[in-house]
Structure formats: C-alpha cells, structure tokens
A and B are shown apart, each in its own frame.
Chain A
Amino acid sequence: MTAPTTTLPVGRAVRAASKEEFRRAFKRNLTAHGFLIGAVLCFSFFSWYPMVREFLLAFQKTEGGATRWVGWDNFRHVFQDPGFWQAWRNTLLFTGLALVLGFLLPFVVAVVLNEFRHAQGYLRLLVYLPVMMPPVASVLLFKYFYDPGYGLFNRALEFLHLPAQDWLQSGDTAMLSVVIASTWMNMGSATLIYLAALQGIPGELYEAAELDGAGLLRKIWHVTVPQTKLILSLMLLMQIIATMQVFTEPFLLTGGAGPEGSTTTVVVLIYQYAFSFNQYGGAAALGLCLLVLLAGFSALYVRLSRDNES
C-alpha cells in the first residue's frame, strides 16, 4: 500500500530529468531545428496537407459551391466506370512490359559497359543522353518514329524488307510501343546506378571465379547478381512504383487513350476525371486506390532500404 507514495516522487524526478535533458538537447540543436522548421513547413503545405485534402476529397462532392460528404459514392462511381478496370489492366500490362524491358535492359547494358576498358566515360554519356532530353521532346520524337506513313521505324523495316507495323495505331502493339519509348527515355539513369553497383564489386571475386573455370554467364550469375542483389531489388521496387504512375508517355503518344482505350492508364484516368470531367471526388478516389496499392510497395521499399543500409 505504501509503494505508490514512495514511487511517485521518483517518477517525477525522472520526468523532470528527462525534460531537462530534452531542453538541453533542443538548445544544443537549435540551428538544426531552425532549418528543419522551414522544411517541415514546406512539406506540410505542399505535400502533407494536400494529401490529407485528397483523402477527404475522395469522400466529398462539390456542388453549388458547397462541399458535402458522400461517403463511398465516389468510389462506387469510379468502380462502375467500365474504363476503370481497363485502366488497371493497361497499367499492369505497362508495368509488366516495363519490367521485362525497362528493368532487364539497363542491367544488361550496364554489365556490357562495365566490360569496356576504354571510352567508358563517352559510352556512359551516350547512354545517359536520352535522360537529359526533355520528356515531351523525346515523346514527340517517338511519335514521329512510330508514324505508320513516314515514320523512321517503318522506313527501317521497309529497308530490311520486313513488314511495316502499326505501332501506336493498333490495340495489339500500342502499349508495347509506349513501353519501348518509355524504356529508351528512362534507361540511362538505371544503367548508371547499376554501373556504379557493378564497379563496387571486388575484382578478386571475378578472378577467383575465372580460376574456378567460370565463363561469362556463370560469372554474371554467381558473382554479379548476388553482389548487386540489394540494388536490383530496390530498383525493381522503384520501377514498379514509377511505372504504375506512368502518365507522360501514354498521354502524349496516344492522347491518353490509344486504339479503343488500350493505353489509358490509371493516372491518365485520374487526370481525365479531374480536368476533363471536373469530378475531383472521383479523381481523388482513384488516386487513393492507387495510393493504397503503392503504399504496399513503398513499405517494401523502405524495408529493403533499411536492410541495404544495415
């Protein structure tokens, strides 16, 4: 029964001490906190507050200047839109194709570049050049390349006596064409990251593998891949997160729709809901669906990053 009366003053003393400690720590880091306030304010205003607003907007409708709470109506509305499921199918198709092309190709290019002993800087610049081009210019360039009448690609096929393709003009090939353009535009950054990872692999490992009689493919499989596993996993996740938000390429190459809506992605649909149909609630609801999905991938990404750091 007496225990509480004896422990209370101790608890208070501990709290007072920790308060004092906190105060001292705060004083010590005053400048850092000063800098932090600016960043926190910026993030609050430009990132976190809009995100909270978007969350609320997903459950609201604006009419006659008044905003009213509509519960899950916006979600029901977008789920009933036949374009909703098509947009998800298209997005997943883009992500799948982008992983096959956009994930593997930069790695292969990085491995090849890593083998070159001369002109590495020049080759790196060549690979990185497309990234430096403004995305809109790159997309318009590809639009010209894909033109079925005068496009460079069909001219090249004609020169090689191969049949002309419909590229963006057919529902069968439109998405693949978008992925090709997107891969070309973005592979430079990924290649450089892979290259940096490859150059961090100790040369002795390759020498040991060679002594064991390993050929090029076995060296890649048994040395390169395990040594870059974490970077590869991170890049894979980042690629999934980025490709599921694809907008610029389908929007500019195919007007956001393509043949029979075959290139309408989820983010393009969000854009249409907000700016073509003025249905901000629907757009926010769609955005929230995407956010939930990507949050899962992001959590994985954070976990992997932590492992990487440790």
Chain B
Amino acid sequence: MRTSLRRSTAAALASALAVTALAACGTSSSGDGKSAQPSGGSADASAPLDPKTKVTLSIDCMPPAAKAAELKEWKEDVAEFNRTYPNVTIEGRSTPGQCLEPPRFTAMLKAKSQPDVFYAYFTDLQQVLDNDGAEDISAYVTPRSVPALDDIDKNVVGVLKRDGKLYGLPTSNYTMGLLVNRKLFQQAGLNPDTPPRTWEEVRAAAKKIAALGNGTAGYGEYSVENTGGWHYTAAMYGLGGDIVGADGKAAFNNPTGRQIADNLHAMRWEDDSMGKTQLLKWGDLQKQMAADKLGMFLAAPDDITYMVQQLGATYANFGMGPLPGGAATLAGGNGYMVKKGSSPDKIKAAVAWLNFKTLAVGKGQFRYDRSKADGLPVGLPQPAFFTGASKAKDDELKAASATMPVANFKAFLDNPVPGKAEPKKAQEVYKVLDKVMSGVLTNKDADVAQLLAEAEKAVNQLLANQ
C-alpha cells in the first residue's frame, strides 16, 4: 500500500477513457507467446533444473539506466548467476519510475502481458489471483531451492500464500514506525534517540517543534488518495485497535478510534502543531521533512531512502522509533510472482534466480560490501525478513558495511512491534477513512463522532458487498 501510493498520484488520466481502455484489454487472452501454456521441461518440481534445458526468463524491475549503481549490480548478478546456470537467459525489463504503478499493473494483468517473473506488492495477491495471473510455486520452493527458506519470517512468506498455496517469493518487507527529524528534535530541546512512544508524547513533542516557528510543523498526516485512511489504520493498530473486526464488520467507531481522531483534531486546531496545509498525500510529508520543516510522521524505513536519494537529504538527519502505542504495526512489502502458464523449467529457473538475487544471505541484494563500494545506502533497519542464523549473519554483514549511523534506528530496532496486514478491501476502506482524516484536519468544527459513525456505516456497507 505505502509504496503503491507514491506512484499512483501524478498520472491524471481521463478515467472514462482509461476504463474503456481497460475494457479493451479485458478480452485479450493472448500471452507473449513464450509462456502462454505450460510446455516442455521436467514436471517433477523437486528435481533440479536440467542444465541442458535452455530457458529464457523475462523479469520485471531491472534498474533503469538512471540508477547506474543498481544497474551495474544487476548485471554483475546476472553474470554470476549465469556461471551456475549458463542455460538460463535473463531478460531484465526496466521501467523509468517505480517498478509497479497500479494502473499499469492492472492493465498488464488484464492483457496478460506481465513478464515471466513479475513484481507485485503483498497487497496485490488477490488482484493477481482474480486475473489468474500467477503460478502456484509451492512445490518448487523447498529448502533445496531456497536454502534460507526456514529462516524467512513465516508471516512474510504467509502473505504470499492463499489456501495453502504459495504464489510468490518476498524480496522486501516493511513495518511502520515514527520517523523523526533529528535536527528539529535537537533544536526543540528533545532527545532524538528516544522518540515519543505514546500519542501524548507525540503531541507534546509536536508542540515544542512547532514552537520553533518559521513554518515548522511538529507532526504531519496524510488525508487524501487513501493515504489518510491507511495512516489512520496504522495508528489504530498501534493502539491495539482494528479497522475490520473478526466479525467482518467495521471496528473503529469506538473509544480507540475516537482517541486517534480527537488527538489529531487537538494537535491541528488547539496546538496548531500540524501546519496549515492539509490534504497531503504520499510524498508531501517527505518533502517537508527533507526540508527540515517537519518534525515527525508515521513512515517506514525506506521513506528515508526516498528522502536521501530523491530529495537530497542526509541519512544522519533521521531516526526512527516504534509506532506510538506499540501494540501492533502495519506491515507490507513486495515480492515476485511467476506468470501463470509458465513451464516447470521456467518456474525452476525463476526460483533459482529469486533465491540468488533476493533471498540468499551475502548475495544479490544482501551483498552489503558491494553496496557500500557502489555508494548505495547500507544500514537501514529494513528489509528484515530473516530469522535465526540467517538473521544473525545478515545483521553482522550489514553492520560491517553500514554507511549511515545505525544507532539512529536503535529505538525502532530495540522495540520491535508485531506486524499486522492491511484490512480487507483495504483501498476502499481507506477511501472512506480519508474523510475522517480530512474532516478532522480541515474542519475546526468537525464532529468527530458523526464522522466516525458515517465512516462505520459506509465501511459496513462496502464490506457487506463482498
């Protein structure tokens, strides 16, 4: 969700046309011709890939030329992979912007034009299955093909499972926390090494930071493009609440939900510690924080990468603490799936590549020494889906090559909060909750009880329409 939002904004399509275009794609059932139907190869999933079998794999998300260091590493990895599997030809496909833009992804699935190995967010599984887009790879993923399998967090792998079948392999994950601007914390006389742990503390710290003046906001929140509802959900999780209860009905119109809304309303209108500009979406708060105009907001560690690489900030200026409340935190991530209709050999080759590139400690994306030498960031607390011996080894390698003050994330790492997946019909629910957030943040006279009651009714209605 988080990453999907960042790309979904600027594309202002005339949507009526877009829908008709979608409709046009809808009937297309032809694949790329190379992998439309299972053909050839060993059907025995547990058998290793036959070195005599030539396999060509098209793979999403090869870094674009603009990301020179990442592209260099990709090419190195392909060359190294080919030393073991000379029979596998990797055809990387790169996109200039984000790896996955929801409208493009949707159209791609409808047209069945996805690459053999395609990139998807954890939240995309249902959409992929609805479009019959991915292969069940359960039989191909074993400790033999993925040696670290038993050390990968079961919750993370579980996200890519449906009805006991595995449809993808994770490449990264995230949990949310409280991102802080260390410079502003220090200027306001606060200790950035101990970020606020409760909403009362957040409110008090925000007041002090806003008191610095010059348009500085203490705390920032989203409220449009479904990001408001997404953050409201994270805040609810932090306080032990839920958005959709076990009974399948809205579970936020209660004292916990009200506490979050009331607190934001008070921070916005009583304390004036959230700035005047509201209706913000993914990317807006990052810009404010990178410009040292914002003290805190809910975020995931890779927001820091975005601020440094895209907005020119420095790693040393940021730190993280756990999500206020600490009962649970919103978790997500992304991975790769194998296109439906791929031959067993293609699936084997795909699993071998994914294992090498994204799931092997000390290799591919976890070659921290190489990342450091290439000027890429090392030391962010996530992705972190290894457990046991793999985690120990990965931590050791990461610490040895860190390119940023990892102590800044100590509060986040030392207080791990259990991750919790997004609610059912997440985007639609978030859209409804956006109204609560925008109401609280733009209307001084907002009736919080009424906003929550209306949102509850709307969410129950859409949940009933499953």
Task: Return chain B residues, CB-CB under 8 Å to A284.
Answer: 19, 23
Min CB distance, B222 to chain A, in Å?
A: 9
A92, CB-defined interface residue at 8 Å: no
Query: Known: A64-B130, A148-B276, A276-B226. Contact between A255 and B9, CB under 8 A?
Result: yes
Please name the 10 residue pairs, one residue from A and one from B, whose CB atoms are nearest each other, closest first.
A65-B132, A255-B224, A271-B15, A53-B23, A50-B20, A259-B442, A50-B24, A54-B23, A148-B276, A255-B225
B13, CB-defined interface residue at 8 Å: yes
Q: Kindly identify, within residues 270 to 298 of chain B, every residue whose CB is under 8 Å from any CB belonging to chain A.
A: 275-279, 281
User: Does B438 contact A258, Cβ atoms closer than 8 Å?
Assistant: yes
Total A residues in contact with B, Cβ cutoff 8 Å: 58
A270, CB-defined interface residue at 8 Å: yes
B96, CB-defined interface residue at 8 Å: no
> Which stretch in A1-9, A110-118, A199-207, A260-268 binds the other chain?
A260-268
A90, CB-defined interface residue at 8 Å: no
User: Does A82 contact B224, Cβ atoms closer than 8 Å?
Assistant: no
B97, CB-defined interface residue at 8 Å: no
> Which stretch in A168-176, A219-227, A230-238 binds the other chain?
A168-176
Q: Name, among B8, B225, B457, the residue most crowded by chain A CB atoms within 10 Å (CB to CB).
A: B225
Distance of A135 Cα from B439 Cα, bound (Å)? 28
Distance of A272 Cα from B360 Cα, bound (Å)? 38
User: Does B277 contact A148, Cβ atoms closer than 8 Å?
Assistant: yes
B26, CB-defined interface residue at 8 Å: yes
Q: Kindly identify, within residues 19 to 63 of chain A, every residue whose CB is under 8 Å from any CB belonging to chain B.
A: 46, 49-51, 53-54, 56-57, 62-63
Task: Return chain A residues, CB-CB under 8 Å to B454.
Answer: 82
Q: Name, among B19, B131, B275, the residue most crowded by chain A CB atoms within 10 Å (CB to CB).
A: B19
User: Does A260 contact B442, Cβ atoms closer than 8 Å?
Assistant: yes
Query: Known: A148-B277, A257-B434. Contact between A276 and B133, CB under 8 A?
Result: no
User: Does B428 contact A256, Cβ atoms closer than 8 Å?
Assistant: no
B18, CB-defined interface residue at 8 Å: yes
B103, CB-defined interface residue at 8 Å: yes
Q: Which of B10, B18, B432, B434 contacts A271 (CB 8 A)?
A: B18
What is the count of residue pairs linking A and B with beta-carbon distances less than 8 angstroms? 167
Distance of A258 Cα from B27 Cα, bound (Å)? 35
Binding site for A on B (CB under 8 A): 8-10, 12-16, 18-24, 26-27, 102-103, 106, 110, 127, 129-133, 215, 223-226, 275-279, 281, 340, 425, 427-428, 431-432, 434-435, 438-439, 442-443, 451, 454, 457-458, 461-462, 465
A94, CB-defined interface residue at 8 Å: no
Query: Known: A257-B435, A267-B15. Contact between A54 and B132, CB under 8 A?
Result: no
Query: Known: A261-B435, A274-B18. Contact between A280 and B102, CB under 8 A?
Result: no
Min CB distance, B223 to chain A, in Å?
A: 8
Query: Known: A80-B461, A135-B12, A290-B16. Contact between A276 and B431, CB under 8 A?
Result: yes
Query: Known: A150-B215, A169-B277. Contact between A65 and B442, CB under 8 A?
Result: no
Min CB distance, B368 to chain A, in Å?
A: 36
User: Does A57 contact B23, Cβ atoms closer than 8 Å?
Assistant: yes
Q: Which residue of B lies closest to A136 (CB)?
A: B12
User: Does A259 contact B439, Cβ atoms closer than 8 Å?
Assistant: yes
Min CB distance, A29 to chain B, in Å?
A: 31
Query: Known: A257-B434, A271-B13, A287-B16. Contact between A57 and B428, CB under 8 A?
Result: no
User: Does B24 contact A53, Cβ atoms closer than 8 Å?
Assistant: yes
User: Does A267 contact B16, Cβ atoms closer than 8 Å?
Assistant: yes
User: Does B20 contact A257, Cβ atoms closer than 8 Å?
Assistant: no
Distance of A24 Cα from B310 Cα, bound (Å)? 67
Distance of A254 Cα from B222 Cα, bound (Å)? 12
User: Does B215 contact A51, Cβ atoms closer than 8 Å?
Assistant: no
Query: Known: A50-B20, A62-B131, A283-B19. Contact between A259 and B14, CB under 8 A?
Result: no
A277, CB-defined interface residue at 8 Å: yes
Q: Which of B9, B15, B281 contacts A268 (CB 8 A)?
A: B15
Q: Name, among B20, B127, B277, B278, the residue most crowded by chain A CB atoms within 10 Å (CB to CB).
A: B20
Distance of A270 Cα from B15 Cα, bound (Å)? 6
Q: Which residue of A lies closest to B14 (CB)?
A: A247
Task: Return chain A residues, CB-CB under 8 Å to B439.
Answer: 259-260
A93, CB-defined interface residue at 8 Å: no
Task: Return chain B residues, CB-CB under 8 Å to A65.
Answer: 130-133, 340
Q: Which residue of A lies closest to B457 (CB)?
A: A82
Q: Which residue of B lies closest to A140 (CB)?
A: B10
Task: Return chain B residues, CB-CB under 8 Å to A135.
Answer: 12
User: Does B276 contact A54, Cβ atoms closer than 8 Å?
Assistant: no
Distance of A158 Cα from B434 Cα, bound (Å)? 31
